[in-house]
Every structure is written in C-alpha cells, then in structure tokens.
Amino acid sequence: MKPITLSFLLAAIVLSAASSPALAQEAKPEFPVAAGTDFHFYGMLYVSGQIEFRDATGALFPNYWFERRGGVVSGKWTADPQNPKLTFSLTCHSLAQPGDSLDLKILSEVMPTADNKPPAVGFDITRLVSTNPPEMNQQKRWTQSATVEGILRVGDKPVKVPAGLMRITYILDAHAMRGAHMSHAAESSLIMTVDFTVKGRDLGLTKTADRDVNVRVTSRAFSEQNLLKNTKKQSLSELGIK
C-alpha cells in the first residue's frame, strides 16, 4: 500500500503545481492601442525631427540636421496590428555644430551652398511596403517594424530609397501599460525611426562616391487627445494639422 500511497501523493503535488496561478505560464499581453487610432507627426516637443548621416567606415564624422519645434513635418500613423497606414514628410533646415570641423564630416562636399548656408535636407515616405505585427521589446515598450519606400532630399537633389527599415516605438500612458482601457493609449505618442543606406555618389559626393552612408530619420507623432490636452484648442485644424 505504501508505494501506491506515495505515487498518489506525487501525482497530487504535480497537478496542484500545474494549476497554481503563480506557476502558470504568463498570458501574452494584448496590444493596447485600438485599431484606427491616429498619431499625427507634429513638432510639439523640442524638435520636429532629425536626419543624421554617418560614414559606414567611421573615417569621417557624422552630420546631423534637425527641424525646430513647430517646424516642417506632416503626416500620420494609423495604428493597426495587421494593416497600419502611414504618410510622412520632414524637412530639416538646421545643421548641428555647423562650424565644427566641417571638412572632416561626411557631407562636407555639399556644404556650404551659394548663400553660405547648409542645404535643407528632407525625407518623404512614398509607400508602406510591408509590416510586422506589434511586439513588446525588452524595455517593455510596444514596437512595430515595417519596410518603407521614400525619397531623401539633400538640397535640390532627390535620392530614391527603395527599402528603408522603419520602427515605431509607442510611448504609452501608464494606464495603458497596466492593461487598463484602450482609451488611455489614445492619450499617448510614438517615436518613428527609418534607417537606410545610400552611396556617396547618390548625395553628390565625389571623394567618397563609392562609400556607404548610413542615414537615420527620426520624428515623433501624437494622438489627437495628446495634442489638444492642456490647450484651449478644440480641433486639430486649429493647430494647423489637416
């Protein structure tokens, strides 16, 4: 009888552990942003966006362009786990550290222009090619990646970008992160980055014509609730957002 009793007790312990909430597998979190929530690209905080150019070999210093708060940026991201939508355009008129070792930077050959100012640079997304489902990263932030096509602009020179890697990182309200009602997520924002590589010749460079230049575009978008919060505005049109 003793072996039978021992086997019965072991089986009971295993079943009890499997049914224990503390030991049960943690449920996969649900994406907290309601499908159809619009996030508008707008220069509400600090800068409207930035574009950086890096020499892939590291031999030359990078160049950073930025657009000031309330600057030339437009478009929106419509959140959806399976079928998001995106429009985006950014133009940066300001160059960081414009007089600092300019000849040692990757785009030194295209500066300054005839009026002794750095050229404006910009990026327009022309097509959202493919997207991946949202996922939570190690920092417990929701992200969504995609491939985009676009046009990079350096001065009056357009450069076609056939495949840029885009990543959306949601900056969600604390209530949304705790799994509360989805309406809380609508009060949040997101950061978008787009990474791609072009050749020096594409940018009008001769000394580094065959060299890879890594480009990163960064901007931030906000929900309507976030944009109107703490203002006396009643609609996005009052902020100049179409």
Judged by average pLDDT, the poorest of 89-93, 96-100, 168-172, 219-223 is 96-100
Tens-digit pLDDT profile for residues 19-69: 545 544 566 778 888 899 999 999 877 789 999 999 999 999 999 999 988
Average model confidence (pLDDT) for the chain? 82
**Residue 240: predicted pLDDT:** 79
Mean per-residue pLDDT, 138-149? 92
Using the predicted structure, report yes or no on whether residue 15 has a pLDDT greater than 70: no
pLDDT in tens, 81-123: 989 999 999 999 998 876 666 778 899 888 766 666 788 999 9
Smallest CA-to-CA distance from 101 within 61, 65, 51 is with: 61
Predicted pLDDT of residue 181 = 42
pLDDT at 26: 60
**126: amino acid identity, one letter:** T
Average of pLDDT values for 142-157? 94
Q: What is the Cα–Cα distance from 106 to 139, expressed in whole angstroms? A: 33
Whether a cis peptide bond, with omega within 30° of 0, leads into 112 is: yes
pLDDT of residue 112: 66
What domains appear along the chain, each with residue ranges and CATH number? 34-231 (2.40.128.110)
Is residue 235 classed exposed, middle or buried when 0-12, 13-18 and 19+ CB atoms within 10 A define those classes? exposed
- Residue 49's closest CA among 190, 170, 157? 190
